[in-house]
Structure 1
Amino acid sequence: MVKIAWGITGCGDKIGEIVELLVTLKNEYPEVDVDIYYSQSAEMVLNWYKLMGKLKDTFYSIRKEVNPNAPFLPGMLQTGKYDLFLVAPLTANSVAKIAHGIADTLITNSVAQGTKAMVPTYIYPPDNKKEEIETILPGGKTLKLYIRDTDVKNVEILKKMQSITVLENVSEIKQALLKHVKGE
């Protein structure tokens, strides 16, 4: 059994693809157990993209942030309840907080506490390269975004942190998770 804690922040970019990926992974690999922890902002985004129902239909354990320690994900990461922590997608705001040691939300505090216990932590921040991107809005309309230098610099800081692997695209999420599922 591979126990995964999946943290979701209020980032909408690639959220549909990520949800589909985790649903497929759970269905294809019965030995994968995923518990979801989502921020207050993620609730709005998941509802906006009409994904909350899919999560509730597929996953048993779904918990909403109350404060930086509740639900008690930081402690569960430190005490070995989870084999890994996936945070996808991660907002540029949360990337900045983690990069600069600010742990004032459930997700940022869980990254801080989990990495102190050397829990493998996989982070997917869509704002990871200095480029123009197109994101899909609910309803299918596209929106062009221009990634800021400061966001890319913060991602570079994360890449140097202990126990953190920064993933650059959705397919890398699958590769990282399957590495643990297959015991590689």
Structure 2
Amino acid sequence: MKRIAWGITGSGDLIKETYDVMVDIKNKSDIEIMVFLSKEGETVMKWYRMWNDIQKDFPNFKTDAGPNSPFIAGPLQVGYYDALIIAPTTSNTVAKIVYGIADTLVTNVVAQTAKGKTPIYILPVDQKRGTVKTVSPEGRVMELKMREVDVTNTEKLAQMENITVLERPDDLYEILGLNNDK
């Protein structure tokens, strides 16, 4: 059985799509998924009215109590988990990872996991120059302009050792060796 750790940051963009993919993966496989949320991830789950869903679908999730609490980095570093997934990932989290700042649960977990052999998969929301369409918690389609600094940091992230940048939530099927036949 595969075990993965899935970290959720404070991104509203791609949260619903990513969540739907992870629930589908959980339901169609025997992969054990341990979910942990940054403080902002918890806020976004509540804002998007997904808080009850996560409690139902992933009842043993963990929330950020500090950079090393709950203790997730150690088990990831020694290979207890087969992969670390951070999806979706805010530009703030990407910037911190790129510049080696490990002052939150998510950034510390990535920094410590990168020192071991467990592969890291990150889905940044700010990937392409220009504008992207996203959906507000009320279901309204919005257009956001990507900032140059954020796209540049995503490009730097893709060059880091032991980190693979994902382009979209559906990429999770492939990295976990599953078919995307929702």
In structure 1, distance between residues paired with 2:171 and 2:21:
11
Amino acid at match of 1:148: R
Contact 1:73 1:110 in 2 (8 A): yes
| Cα shift at 1:14 | 1.0
Counterpart of 1:44?
43
Counterpart of 2:128?
129
In structure 2, distance between residues paired with 1:137 and 1:102:
29
- Once the two structures are superposed, the pairs formed by residues 1-184 of structure 1 within 5 Å of their partners are 1-29=1-29, 31-178=30-177
**Long gaps (5+) in structure 2:** none
Instruction: Calculate the aligned-residue CA RMSD, in Å.
Output: 1.3
**TM-score, normalization: structure 1?**
0.94
Secondary structure of residue in 2 paired with 1:127: coil
Contact 1:7 1:88 in 2 (8 A): yes
**Long gaps (5+) in structure 1:** none
| Cα shift at 1:116 | 0.4
Amino acid at match of 1:97: K
In structure 1, distance between residues paired with 2:50 and 2:72:
22
In structure 1, distance between residues paired with 2:56 and 2:101:
33
In structure 1, distance between residues paired with 2:130 and 2:85:
24
| Cα shift at 1:58 | 1.4
In structure 1, distance between residues paired with 2:172 and 2:127:
14
| Cα shift at 1:169 | 1.2
| Cα shift at 1:4 | 0.6
Amino acid at match of 2:2: V
In structure 2, distance between residues paired with 1:55 and 1:78:
26
Amino acid at match of 1:24: D
Write out the 4+ residue segments of structure 1 that deviate beyond 6 Å after TM superposition: none
Secondary structure of residue in 2 paired with 1:155: helix
Secondary structure of residue in 2 paired with 1:21: helix
| Cα shift at 1:95 | 0.3
Secondary structure of residue in 1 paired with 2:62: strand
| Cα shift at 1:86 | 0.3
In structure 1, distance between residues paired with 2:78 and 2:51:
29
Q: Give 1 or 2: higher helix fraction.
A: 1
Aligned length: 179
Amino acid at match of 2:76: L
| Cα shift at 1:143 | 1.7
